[in-house]
Amino acid sequence: MALARSLIRSRAAAQALFPQDLFQDPAFDILLTVFVSDEEGHDMPVSAAVTSGGTPMTTGLRWLSKLEKLGMICRRGDNFDKRKQYISLTEETRSLVIEWLTPLPFLENR
């Protein structure tokens, strides 16, 4: 999980240094943010997930829909407040993220 956090910070730093149009695709940031939230046992509100990519809300929502159509994330409603929705990674996507992060331990302490 520390490695995923490092990657999120690293991408944020890169976005500050390089031209914005190099980092227009928020899908990767959304997946990493939801992964960390899932691993910590927290609910990830849709609003927090879409803004984690550093793009406008409408762009983030569009990418969230795409990830859902690809079967990478799933949505669920709040039992008490029907206006709220949460997202999490599917088991398959979670496994893929773990598989991808596993050979990258050298980044963990950055």
Residue 62 backbone class (left: φ over 0; alpha: ψ -120 to 50; beta: rest): alpha
Domain limits of the chain?
2-101
Q: What is the pTM of this model?
A: 0.79
Tokens of 42: 């927290």
The answer to whether residues 106 and 5 touch, using CB atoms and an 8 Å cutoff, is: no
Which pLDDT tens digit goes with each residue over 83-110? Answer: 999 999 999 999 988 888 876 655 555 4
DSSP string, 8-52: HHHHHHHHHHS-GGGG---HHHHHHHHHHHHHHT--EEHHHHHHT
For residues 89 and 11, the model is more confident at 89
Tokens of 70: 């690809």
Q: Which fold has domain 2-101?
A: Arc Repressor Mutant, subunit A (1.10.10)
Which pLDDT tens digit goes with each residue over 25-56? Answer: 788 889 999 999 999 999 999 999 988 877 88
